[in-house]
Amino acid sequence: MDLLNTLVDKGLRRELPTREEALAVLATSDDDVLDVVAAAGKVRRHWFGRRVKLNYLVNLKSGLCPEDCSYCSQRLGSSTGILKYTWLKPEQASQAAAAGLAGGAKRVCLVASGRGPTDRDVDRVAGTIKAIKEQNEGVEVCACLGLLSDGQAERLREAGADAYNHNLNTSESTYGDITTTHTYADRVDTVNKAHAAGLSACSGLIAGMGESDEDLVDVVFSLRALDPDSVPVNFLIPVEGTPLAAEWNLTPQRCLRILAMVRFVCPDIEVRIAGGREVHLRSMQPVALHLANSIFLGDYLTTEGQAGKADLEMIADAGFEVEGADQVTLPEHRVHAGGGCGSHAEAGCGSHEDAGCGSHEGGGVCGTAAAGAAAAAPAANEPRTDLVAVRRRGAGTDLAPNA
């Protein structure tokens, strides 16, 4: 179709589509979804080949958050039954990170719940970054700690952080419906602080919160204007005990159209499938690799993800390859434009769960969730609560992580 040919041409030239073109991608039918994937896949392969970057989350501090983000299982007054613990010691965080790195991850995302870090918290994270980098040569570290105060981004950069994640999550016009304890402008300010400090900026969105197509296009165009190196795309996990627990609005085809739209608007930016891929894309996850060039490995912040071994098998079976530690994620022109990390000017964490960093909880089928699934195939569009399992292993526990 003419729309897709136009969008491919624009993507190869790094030209911004019109809002009408982006909306038209979201409005395509399920019958056309493979054509949409094929077109966006040409843009993805042009800039990123067949490489898939693996990222690994370490939840430094879980729960106990004073913010009221409606999507978040760590929010104020949450009754979700998630793990709750205060700051991990540097050696504990380093041990957790090592599991993900051994599984093939090249970036570790250090996440902490809360509105934002105190100066003492920044010192804690600085010690953790040092411990991880001393044990793992060449590792990239992204911090995801919430709203930053003046000077904190610079201190994280001096401590060795390569990137900072803070998601916009949804459009400016609907942000107040999702969160009331901070503003959309607060989030934009933190992304700008990370940029100004020389950190690689990562900022993304959450789809499936009841937003309109116009809201999705608005937030992606706003992200493009902020010029992050990485855009994580989260699909809402409707966790029981959160205000959005009843929002089961996504189908695999809808998720693919959203990812394609993001790729067309952000052709040469790292697009990551973050939280929720196991729950909403399900068996279509390998198809989504034709659109995104980055995923998380293993578990998320407070929910289980797909087994790390299954992630690696999925990538290989789909004809892709895991990006090596010696490979640069971004195209050369973006690295040289001063992404903040020199040869490592890439992603951030971006998984949406935690109110402070905007990191989405993610989740999916692994272990107990798979064992509890019904034997009969579920009906189309049926809520897949069987695929959501609270994390009970890894960071903050005595059990081995899933990586």
Residues annotated catalytic, as ranges: 65, 69, 72, 109, 142, 202, 272
CA atoms lying within 13 Å on the CB side of residue 36: 26
Question: Among residues 167, 147, 143, 168, which one has the least CA distance to residue 157?
Answer: 143
Strand-pair partners of 107: 55, 140
Strand-pair partners of 232: 272
Strand-pair partners of 32: none
User: How far apart are alpha carbons 142 and 98 in whole angstroms?
Assistant: 15
* Residue 297 contacts residue 54 (beta carbons within 8 Å): yes
* Residue 395 contacts residue 56 (beta carbons within 8 Å): no
Hey, what amino acid is at 374? A
3-state secondary structure of 389: coil
Hey, what amino acid is at 19? R
Hey, what amino acid is at 327? Q
User: How far apart are alpha carbons 63 and 78 in whole angstroms?
Assistant: 8
Task: Please give the backbone phi and psi of residue 321, each rounded to the nearest 5 degrees, phi first.
Answer: -135, 145
Alpha helices for 104-164 (secondary structure H): 119-135, 152-158
